[in-house]
Amino acid sequence: MATQEAEIQSIKQRFGIIGNSPMLNHAVRVAMQVAPTDMSVLITGESGVGKEIFSKIIHHLSPRKHGQFIAINCGSIPEGTIDSELFGHEKGSFTGAHEARKGYFEVTNGGTIFLDEIGEMPLGTQARLLRVLENGEFIKVGSSKVQKTDVRVVAATNVNLMRNVEEGKFREDLYYRLSSVPIFVPPLRERGKDIELLFRKFATDFAEKYKVKPIVLTEDAKEALLKYRFPGNIRQLKNLVEQISVLSTDDKEVTAEKLAHYLPHENTLPALYRNGSAPAETLSERDILYKVLFDMKKDVVDLKRIVLDLVSRQGNAAQLVKENPGLFEGIHFTETKQPEEHIVLNLSPTKKELHQEADVDVQDISHETEDNSLSIEQKEKELIIKALRKNNNKRKYAARDLGISERTLYRKIKQYDLED
């Protein structure tokens, strides 16, 4: 066991992995164990946790280490050209194909291909990839000739692929073929003291780069840093340390108050989902809490109506409401006498009731029902415009800020007619 732990520490040092949390060490251990095999690996984890590093560990510890390693972001390749990029094409196979081209699966023969954001891969390309994984065969675009290749595939995703399978967005057979060995890379907020270690490492690196004294955290700043969720994970922490290192020209001691000026406020906008159908991984804890509270409120209102309905059959509904005015506030009904002297209640919810705010500070959630989807779309459009302006219309960086792929951003730009 001691030997294995020493080997894990050696691998982390070799590949520049900082930290010693149990979940991180487990991920490194699995990567080491699967590396000598030819099994497909699916690396999961949030954006910015360093999934590509684990693909490099697998490649460099494998018999393929002398072969080529290529990392491909499936979300950054347009849908119309991804087949050509991966599998190549013949001359004249489509407009602009002035000469034949080799794809990544051909040029990487004997090596490893890392397919990042595999969940963004189109269904047609998924079928081609499955054939490569099962038979080692592929066909160039515009060709009928079957070619062989010997490539190991390591895939990664920051989305729930099983949910995509259930929604018909990802092939089930490909999912199980890719996830022969799953590796989960933990988010930064679940790595405890690793955050401090990474902060010190980045502070030292940037101090050397910019020829300044390294910044140092006070005790209260360390506590504040550990409490922050870091939705952008290691990438966000690195950018934060660089920003403070450059802008802190005089005092290099970072207090909690000073740190708060650099940490962005989380959840300043509601999650971009409609009708509560967003994937769970796109919702923050606060968004989920609001949704649960609204669902509970709706359940309570429904329960009140059921109680009134049951009591009305005994003719005591009016008396029950009179004795408990606060309990049935917002439940409006009319009573009419039937021959059996039973009371018939009109228990349909009122407009006021439907749009009554929950007893929490919810930002921009209690809009009128008929305007709800439109308001969310408007906010999404405004958020995209803001990201594009911030990044001088560079879609790559705008997509990164929004936490979506370039192809998804392109579709949104077309949807909202933001081409200009």
User: What is the number of structural domains in the chain?
Assistant: 4
Same domain, 107 and 31: yes
**What does DSSP assign to residue 215?**
P
Taking a C-beta distance cutoff of 8 angstroms, is the pair 40, 180 a contact?
yes
- Which CATH number characterizes residue 212's domain? 1.10.8.60
- Which CATH number characterizes residue 10's domain? 3.40.50.300
Lowest mean pLDDT among 314-318, 362-366, 371-375: 362-366
Lowest mean pLDDT among 49-63, 161-175, 207-221, 390-404: 390-404
Confidence band of 356 (pLDDT split at 50, 70, 90) = very low
Q: Which range, 307-311, 353-357, 361-365, is most confident?
A: 307-311
Rounded CA separation 139/128 (Å): 8
**Structural domain of residue 410, as residue ranges?**
367-415
Structure tokens at 311: 């009591």
Residue 387's pLDDT is 83
Confidence band of 418 (pLDDT split at 50, 70, 90) = confident
Confidence band of 48 (pLDDT split at 50, 70, 90) = very high
Mean pLDDT of 325-334: 55
Rounded CA separation 384/237 (Å): 23
Question: C-alpha angle 185/186/188, rounded to 5°?
Answer: 125
Structure tokens at 177: 């073929």
DSSP 336-397: EE-TT-PEEE--PPPHHHHTPPPSS--SS----HHHHHHHHHHHHHHHHHHHHHHTTT-HHH
Same domain, 157 and 194: no
Structure-model confidence comparison of residues 278 and 145, the more confident one: 145
Rounded CA separation 108/65 (Å): 12
Same domain, 161 and 77: yes
Instruction: Tell whether 280 is covered by a domain.
Output: no
Same domain, 157 and 229: no
Mean pLDDT of 35-49: 96
Instruction: Tell whether 276 is covered by a domain.
Output: no
Beta-strand relationship, 335-337 and 343-345: antiparallel
Same domain, 33 and 172: yes
pLDDT digit string (tens) for 64-104?
A: 999 999 999 999 999 889 999 999 999 988 888 889 999 99
Mean of pLDDT over the chain: 81
Lowest mean pLDDT among 113-117, 212-216, 342-346: 342-346
Confidence band of 355 (pLDDT split at 50, 70, 90) = very low
Same domain, 77 and 177: yes
Residue 73's pLDDT is 95
